């Protein structure tokens, strides 16, 4: 069924402040997302019917911002895809299951609520003292891929932002011994669903201001967010401390993830060091 995205956007932004600060923030977030979508080729070129994206909505600020920014781009004609919001209700204790359907219905966003009790599985399988994140994420992703296939969606779209990418990078380096972050675009193992992160270059603080201004009904994650000693939270605090000490650190770190020099790393599978030999009489060392 065809959706009037202009009407949806009007309903979504009807209570937003009309201040210059909010309007500048709104424009900047749209521009950042549009640039990321274009730079990483998230929209398939060519004619035919528009693609359909499954927008994953957890009830946190990041996913609300993701949906709002994409709806804004869609309403102004800059996003040639159809959007379907999806919440996976994992039956976490005290999860207010009425909030998202009521909010989505009020503004007219097409949505699907998928209910799967992954909480019982995670809490049963996770050893005492360990965090739920890894298993929870794996189960959640599997269900979202399935829903995407059932709904004819070519992409699962997530609300990860700059700080998520940087924390993942630091955790992989310090705890995993590898250089890897969150890609803006990847293909699932079966090769039939793309995972997209249009906000991966956007600052978390901007998303928080944006959703607060829109009055989004934030639902806290009480499953993993309440567990002490979570490595990701500890890494986020380190990043905050670095930013306070040297403002611009996080922006520079993100820029570094997109400016990699394989010849100046130590991965011999990525760069052919063995064939690197002096030529002629040139004795300069790079």
Residue 133's region, left for phi above 0, alpha for psi from -120 to 50, else beta, is alpha
**pLDDT class of 222 with cuts at 50, 70, 90:** low
- The mean pLDDT of 71-92, rounded to a whole number, is 92
How far from chain centre, in Å, is Cα 262?
26
Token output for 193: 């669903």
- The mean pLDDT of 142-170, rounded to a whole number, is 94
How far from chain centre, in Å, is Cα 214?
19
Q: Is the pLDDT of residue 39 over 90?
A: yes
Question: Is pLDDT larger for residue 4 or for residue 185?
Answer: 185
Token output for 67: 């949906």
User: pLDDT tens for residues 40-69?
Assistant: 999 976 655 678 999 999 999 999 999 999
Rounded distance between C-alpha atoms, residue 260 and residue 183, angstroms: 14
Rounded distance between C-alpha atoms, residue 196 and residue 77, angstroms: 20
Q: Is the pLDDT of residue 260 over 90?
A: yes
**pLDDT class of 232 with cuts at 50, 70, 90:** confident
Q: Within the chain, how many helices (H) and strands (E) appear?
A: 10, 6
Amino acid 56: pLDDT: 95
Rounded distance between C-alpha atoms, residue 83 and residue 80, angstroms: 10
The CATH label, of 3.30.565.10, 3.30.505.10, 1.10.760.10, 3.40.50.620, for the domain at 5-264 is: 3.40.50.620
- The mean pLDDT of 12-41, rounded to a whole number, is 96
Q: Is the pLDDT of residue 286 over 70?
A: no
Rounded distance between C-alpha atoms, residue 198 and residue 160, angstroms: 8
Amino acid 63: pLDDT: 96
Amino acid 115: pLDDT: 86
- The mean pLDDT of 248-277, rounded to a whole number, is 94
Q: How many CB atoms lie within 10 A of CB 193?
A: 22
Rounded distance between C-alpha atoms, residue 50 and residue 87, angstroms: 22
User: pLDDT tens for residues 90-109?
Assistant: 777 788 889 999 999 999 99
**pLDDT class of 140 with cuts at 50, 70, 90:** confident
Q: Is the pLDDT of residue 227 over 60?
A: no
- The strand ranges marked E within the chain are 51-56, 81-89, 111-115, 155-157, 185-187, 194-196
Phi and psi dihedrals of 53, rounded to 5? -110, 140
Q: pTM higher than 0.85, yes or no?
A: yes
Rounded distance between C-alpha atoms, residue 20 and residue 7, angstroms: 23
Question: Is pLDDT larger for residue 262 or for residue 224?
Answer: 262
- The mean pLDDT of 146-157, rounded to a whole number, is 95
Phi and psi dihedrals of 202, rounded to 5? -100, 140
Mean pLDDT of the chain: 88
Among 239, 257, 259, CA closest to 248: 239
Question: Is pLDDT larger for residue 114 or for residue 120?
Answer: 114
| Cβ 132 vs Cβ 126: under 8 Å | yes
Question: In the sheet where 111-115 sits, what is the strand order?
Answer: 111-115, 81-89, 51-56, 155-157, 194-196, 185-187
Amino acid 241: pLDDT: 96
Amino acid 129: pLDDT: 58
Q: Indicate the range of 22-31, 36-45, 237-246, 274-283 predicted with least confidence.
A: 274-283
Question: Is pLDDT larger for residue 130 or for residue 277?
Answer: 277
């Amino acid at each position: 069924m065809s959706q009037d995205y202009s009407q949806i956007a009007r309903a979504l932004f009807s209570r937003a402040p009309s201040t210059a600060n909010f309007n500048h923030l709104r424009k900047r977030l749209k521009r950042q997302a549009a640039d990321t979508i274009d730079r990483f080729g998230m929209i398939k070129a060519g004619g035919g019917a528009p693609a359909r994206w499954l927008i994953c909505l957890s009830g946190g600020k990041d996913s609300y911002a993701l949906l709002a920014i994409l709806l804004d781009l869609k309403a102004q004609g800059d996003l040639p895809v159809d959007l379907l919001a999806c919440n996976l209700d994992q039956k976490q204790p005290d999860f207010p299951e009425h909030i998202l359907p009521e909010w989505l219905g009020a503004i007219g966003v097409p949505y699907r609520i998928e209910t799967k009790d992954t909480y019982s599985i995670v809490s049963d399988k996770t050893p005492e003292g360990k965090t739920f994140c890894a298993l929870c994420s794996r189960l959640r992703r599997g269900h979202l891929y399935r829903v995407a296939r059932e709904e004819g969606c070519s992409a699962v779209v997530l609300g990860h932002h700059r700080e998520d990418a940087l924390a993942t990078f630091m955790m992989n380096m310090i705890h995993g011994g590898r250089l890897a972050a969150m890609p803006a675009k990847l293909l699932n193992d079966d090769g039939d669903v793309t995972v997209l992160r249009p906000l991966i270059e956007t600052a978390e603080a901007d998303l928080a201001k944006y959703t607060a201004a829109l009055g989004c009904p934030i639902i806290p994650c009480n499953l993993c967010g309440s567990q002490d000693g979570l490595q990701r939270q500890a890494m986020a605090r380190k990043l905050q401390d670095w930013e306070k000490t040297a403002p611009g650190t996080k922006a520079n770190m993100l820029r570094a993830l997109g400016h990699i020099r394989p010849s100046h790393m130590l991965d011999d599978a990525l760069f052919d060091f063995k064939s690197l030999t002096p030529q002629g009489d040139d004795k300069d060392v790079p």
